[in-house]
Amino acid sequence: MKPSKSSIDVSEILAKYNSQCECIHGWNVLSSPFVEDEYMFIMERSYISFNLENRLGTRPFLEKIEKKWILFQLLKAVSSLHNKNIVHGDIKSENVLISTGGWAYLSDIGNYKPTFLPENNPSDFYLFFDASEKRSCCIAPERFFNPSSHKESAAYGFDLKKAMDIFSLG
């Protein structure tokens, strides 16, 4: 893989991620250890069986009470993050990890992804938010902007609002 020639300051994003990981020891929030170098992050996750998207389609299907339990855990995880002034930024079924015991963990805090996306150019959306290529969108509408009428920038992980996470929870 060739190093990126972009103007993104990785050190600023990494510093923000490290400071968030230090205070994320709340309800069901998985702060993954990672290996880093100048161009690549390798996230490690342990003891997880499925993500929520895969689990919803796997037999035996979840009972109604199990779905409520997962939802409760997600609400507590987001509440824990928001109480520490951390906004996830990319809540979707692929970022909810499920253990064999039925515990749900919120992972992949999206502060390295662009806060705002141009509404007329889906390339950033596909790159950062549609890894599964299912064309589903859990992003709050205020994150999309018209480049011709606004001076918004990508602002990676900054200016995220708690309401954006609530929208993503559904």
The mean pLDDT value for 67-75 works out to 96
- Catalytic positions: 90
According to the model, what pLDDT value does residue 110 have? 74
For residue 1, name the pLDDT band (cuts at 50, 70, 90).
very low
* Mean pLDDT estimate for the chain: 80
The answer to which of 15-19, 120-124, 149-153 has the lowest mean pLDDT is 149-153
Burial of 120 (0-12, 13-18, 19+ CB in 10 A): exposed
Secondary structure element (H or E) that encloses residue 55, with its range = helix 52-56
CATH of 10-169, one of 1.25.40.10, 1.10.510.10, 3.20.20.30, 1.10.10.60: 1.10.510.10
For residue 152, name the pLDDT band (cuts at 50, 70, 90).
low
| CA gap 137, 129 in Å, rounded | 8
| CA gap 76, 69 in Å, rounded | 11
- Domain limits of the chain? 10-169
Tell me which residue has tokens 């929520």.
Answer: 52
pLDDT digits (tens, 9 = 90+) for 51-68: 999 999 999 999 999 999
* 104 within 8 A of 28, measured Cβ to Cβ: yes
Which one-letter amino acid corresponds to residue 122?
P
| CA gap 100, 48 in Å, rounded | 7
The mean pLDDT value for 105-125 works out to 85
According to the model, what pLDDT value does residue 26 have? 58
More confident residue, 46 or 113: 113
